[in-house]
Amino acid sequence: MNFLLKAATVIDPKSPFHKKTVDIQIENGIVTDINTSIKAKDNSKEIQLENLHVSRGWFDSSVSFGEPGYEERETIEHGLEVASKSGFTGIALNPNTLPITDTSASVGFLKGKAQHSAVKLYPIGALTVKSEGVDMAELYDMKQAGAIAFGDYKKSIQNPNLLKIALLYAQNFNGLVLSFPQENHIAGKGMVNEEQQSTLLGLKGIPALAEELQVARDLFLLEYTGGKLHIPTISTAKSVALIKEAKNKGLQISCSTSIHNLLLTDAELVRFDSNYKVLPPLRTKTDVDALQQGVKDGIIDMVTSDHQPMDIEHKNVEFDNAKYGTIGLESAFGTLNTIFGVEKTVSMLTKGRSVFEIENDTIDINSTADLSLFNPEGNSTFTIDNILSSSKNSAFLQKSVKGNVFGIVSDGKIILK
């Protein structure tokens, strides 16, 4: 199908049309013309949207759905539709399914389920068999089947020798290893940040030290082995400092932080709302400030919604018994835009592709049309009516958001809310 985007402001610093308002002709998934005014062809669908802005397609490096095994939380088909209407043209899918994504067959299943979607699904394979942290999974076979990285979602590798071997082995095929930053013996049975707020509320705490010890250990291992390591969803000021030091040494280290850890503090816990029960836990304002500065300085490579749907039976219970996780695809752009502005927000939502070595053409004539469509202006409140996901466990309910996402152009299709 062919489209003509009318009066679209381009947000792409690498594009010759950056910050220019132009018409964009797309034919068979390729940008064939960009000009101040283009007359629609007979076989083109003309798209006119209020204050339309376009950028290269957004990518989320940590998304969970449910299927297979937990379809009541979210299916792949519907989850990808949610991603498209939230502005994402690509998502990395975590291996926290049942069964765990730890074989080439399970990777192939996920890719097969997504083959007709406009959103590209990139599976993350489990680093260990059944994500049990004991035996290394079939990394090379999963890489051949289409896995883009390997890690056990929200489960840290407690055996340092296992991580050492994984980092060494993955170098044979340029594999990227993920290591969740939590030392379980320090974290214990904690569920929120160990600080003044946890004491006031009488909730067991996870000290920042639990994350920082693991980050420091993993960086020592990386320095010894070489290879590529990605630390997902860091949450403390010290973690930012440790990763900055490692990057200055020239190590191939990357990291992300989740949008809720980037914007919210443990002060949200005062109502014992289980939507704020996340892992890593919400930290202090000092940590939030350090994370935001880390994003601005480029120490933190990308942000993620860390989208984790959870059915009401696992969230609408006592805080102690609730499962971890919040959805975040729908609120990602609007919440980031309130703090960082449109250009930095777009940068944060597109940078992850380079770490995972996923191509993303700049917006130019003859480039692949992989675009996010949005209006960066207009303030509103994020409510349950804005949630498209099957599960409604959002930490951003009743929070201010700025802007509106229209949808995407990808794989020769246009998806609009």
pLDDT tens, residue by residue, 84-116: 999 999 999 999 999 999 999 999 999 999 999
Beta strands in 104-227 (DSSP E): 120-125, 149-150, 176-178, 192-193, 205-206
Residue 177 and residue 73: Cα distance in Å, rounded?
27
Residue 359 in this model has a pLDDT that exceeds 90? no
Residue 1 in this model has a pLDDT that exceeds 90? no
* pLDDT for the residue numbered 41: 85
Longest dimension (CA), the chain: 67
* pLDDT for the residue numbered 360: 85
Q: Do domains 2-53+365-379+402-416 and 57-355 have the same CATH topology?
A: no
pTM, two decimal places:
0.95
Specify the CATH superfamily of domain 57-355: Metal-dependent hydrolases (3.20.20.140)
The pLDDT tens digits of the residues spanning 50-91 come to 999 999 999 999 999 999 999 999 999 999 999 999 999 999
**Alpha carbon distances (Å) from 355 to 175, 205, 218:** 11, 32, 18
Angle of helix 342-350 relative to helix 332-340, nearest 10 degrees, comes to 130
**Residue 282 confidence class, pLDDT cut points 50, 70, 90:** very high
Percentage above 90 pLDDT, the chain? 98
* pLDDT for the residue numbered 42: 82
Residue 356 and residue 119: Cα distance in Å, rounded?
16
Residue 167 identity (one-letter amino acid)? L
The pLDDT tens digits of the residues spanning 146-155 come to 999 999 999 9
The pLDDT tens digits of the residues spanning 250-279 come to 999 999 999 999 999 999 999 999 999 999
Residue 65 and residue 93: Cα distance in Å, rounded?
8
Catalytic residues: 306
Average pLDDT, the chain: 96
CA angle 279, 256, 73 (to 5 degrees): 45
* pLDDT for the residue numbered 32: 96
Reduced to 3 states (helix: H, G, I; strand: E, B; else coil), residue 90 is strand
* pLDDT for the residue numbered 207: 97
Residue 142 in this model has a pLDDT that exceeds 90? yes
**Residue 43 confidence class, pLDDT cut points 50, 70, 90:** confident
**Residue 40 confidence class, pLDDT cut points 50, 70, 90:** confident
What CATH number has the domain spanning 2-53+365-379+402-416?
2.30.40.10
List the chain domain ranges. 2-53+365-379+402-416, 57-355
Residue 21 and residue 298: Cα distance in Å, rounded?
28
Reduced to 3 states (helix: H, G, I; strand: E, B; else coil), residue 76 is helix
Residue 21 identity (one-letter amino acid)? T
Taking 3-state DSSP, the helix, strand and coil percentages for the chain, each rounded to the nearest 5, stand at: 35, 25, 40
* pLDDT for the residue numbered 244: 98
Residues whose CB falls within 8 Å of the CB of residue 157, separated by 6 or more in sequence, listed in order: 127, 128, 133, 163, 166, 179, 180
* pLDDT for the residue numbered 161: 98
Residues whose CB falls within 8 Å of the CB of residue 398, separated by 6 or more in sequence, listed in order: 381, 382, 383
145 backbone dihedrals φ, ψ, rounded to 5°: -80, -10
301-318 mean pLDDT: 96
